[in-house]
Amino acid sequence: MKLQSIKITPIAFRDPPLLNAAGIHEPYALRSIIELESDTGQIGLGESYGDAAFLQLAAALQPRLVGLDPFNLNGLRERVLDVVKGTQVDTGTEFLLAPGTDPVKNVQKLYSAFEVALLDMQARHLGMPLVDLLGGRVRDRVPFSAYLFFKYAHHIDADYPADAWGETLTPEQLVAQAQTMVQRHGFGSFKVKGGVLPPQDEVACIRALAAAFPRKPLRIDPNGNWSLPTAIAMGKQLDGLLEYYEDPCPTLADMAELHRATGMPLATNMVVTDMAQFRDNVPLDACQIILSDHHYWGGLRETQVLARMCEVFGLGLSMHSNSHLGISLLAMAHLAASVPLLSYACDTHYPWLDPNEEVIRGGQLKFLDGAVVLGDAPGLGVEIDQAALARLHAQYQTCGIRSRNDAAQMRKYQPDWSGKAPRF
């Protein structure tokens, strides 16, 4: 079996005006959809970043994949290393909110995007769900948490109507958002994307959630937007209310000091985002929980390695998310179901997706009691709705966005916005 066709389709989908430490989401989020086909007619699907820099690398890799044996992951890595070494890219990103936009991760990002599609093809070839190829399911249901955002009611510059969620800027509005999430999807835990309001107001939001959902685990993620003194002060108020405290401070050294000062379990997808940082974290004991993301950790097999390393070094493991569609959600779920160590419900932006903006046949995936339930269909278990893909690709062509820039978008609302972190 050899790869015969490699199709990479950039898409744009509607994204609500969600606030974060770096600014605000633009009206459209970008992704790429990868469709592989072998000489035997087997398909393999993937989903990854859709910014210009990633697409440039993917386009450079594309012709080199023709003829590759889909089981030859070492061959994929060699080609990726070659392409990344030989390609100059400009990310055009002002601030690095998530490691997905960091060019030092180009190898991991590019490899992962195609590794997932190759593993999907392998599993389809074998007629088995992806999780079974990955070692077999240790769980059938992968729990996700409700990802709560502060948000405006509408974009300043969208060419489409406002979303139905409305504004979320107060504790009452956040509790209402959480209630909607639970009603719709059955989530059993909550994550608040913080670093937006003054820290004391965000603590008040956590207290309101704790009062409204007394037995449900809570988390806050200020995205490195709190200074160490602020993080310590807020930590003392939050201690006992959180299952973990995610990335309040922007550096590994600050996180280490925060853990020493508070004893709270600290989670990260900002200061331990690759193997070198994993190594650096060991002697510091800065972070106790790694929020993995196969899109930038270097694929599903590498995330399995990471999971094993977390076991060995006594760390917890869960999953980070960027705005994404169902293929990424399924890749996360199949991976998570294969990993013995999964300490917490995973993050996902999926509930923020407009119901009409999914590229998989049959439309959006459903959560059951907050979990993705794995089926028995081969591979990722889904097919592409080509009409939907074409529609989102057309949207990409017309939306004008080519790289995510939450800070520039925020300046449309607040012209003096700097976005520098930590702001508080």
Catalytic residues: 193, 320
If the CB atoms of residues 71 and 413 are measured against its own copies, the closer one turns out to be 71
What's the closest the beta carbon of residue 293 comes to its own copies, in angstroms?
18
What's the closest the beta carbon of residue 288 comes to its own copies, in angstroms?
15
* CA distance readout (Å), 360 to 32, 66, 163, 277: 13, 25, 22, 35
What's the closest the beta carbon of residue 5 comes to its own copies, in angstroms?
21
If the CB atoms of residues 128 and 169 are measured against its own copies, the closer one turns out to be 128
Angle between helices 52-61 and 73-85 (to 10 degrees): 120
If the CB atoms of residues 134 and 181 are measured against its own copies, the closer one turns out to be 134
Rounded to whole angstroms, the Cα distance separating 68 from 164 reads 46
Rounded to whole angstroms, the Cα distance separating 326 from 195 reads 27
The two tokens of residue 285 are 């004991």
If the CB atoms of residues 41 and 355 are measured against its own copies, the closer one turns out to be 41
Peptide bond just before 422 cis, omega within 30 deg: yes
Cβ burial of 355 (10 Å; 0-12, 13-18, 19+) is: exposed
If the CB atoms of residues 31 and 259 are measured against its own copies, the closer one turns out to be 259
Rounded to whole angstroms, the Cα distance separating 148 from 144 reads 12
**Helix H or strand E encompassing 48:** strand 43-49
What's the closest the beta carbon of residue 282 comes to its own copies, in angstroms?
6
Q: Rule CB under 8 A: which residues touch its own copies?
A: 69, 71-75, 77, 125-126, 128, 132-133, 135-138, 275-276, 278-279, 282-283, 301-302, 304-305, 308-309, 311-313, 338, 340
Closest by alpha carbon to 384, among 366, 365, 352, 358?
358
Rounded to whole angstroms, the Cα distance separating 213 from 372 reads 22
Closest by alpha carbon to 228, among 261, 197, 201, 206?
261
Tell me if 87 sits within 8 A of 60, measured CB to CB. yes
Rounded to whole angstroms, the Cα distance separating 365 from 24 reads 26
What's the closest the beta carbon of residue 276 comes to its own copies, in angstroms?
7
Angle between helices 52-61 and 106-126 (to 10 degrees): 60
Question: What per-residue string of b and e applies to 219-230 under the rule 16 or more CB within 10 Å gives b?
Answer: bbbbbbbbbbeb
What's the closest the beta carbon of residue 302 comes to its own copies, in angstroms?
8
Tell me if 11 sits within 8 A of 33, measured CB to CB. yes
What's the closest the beta carbon of residue 305 comes to its own copies, in angstroms?
5
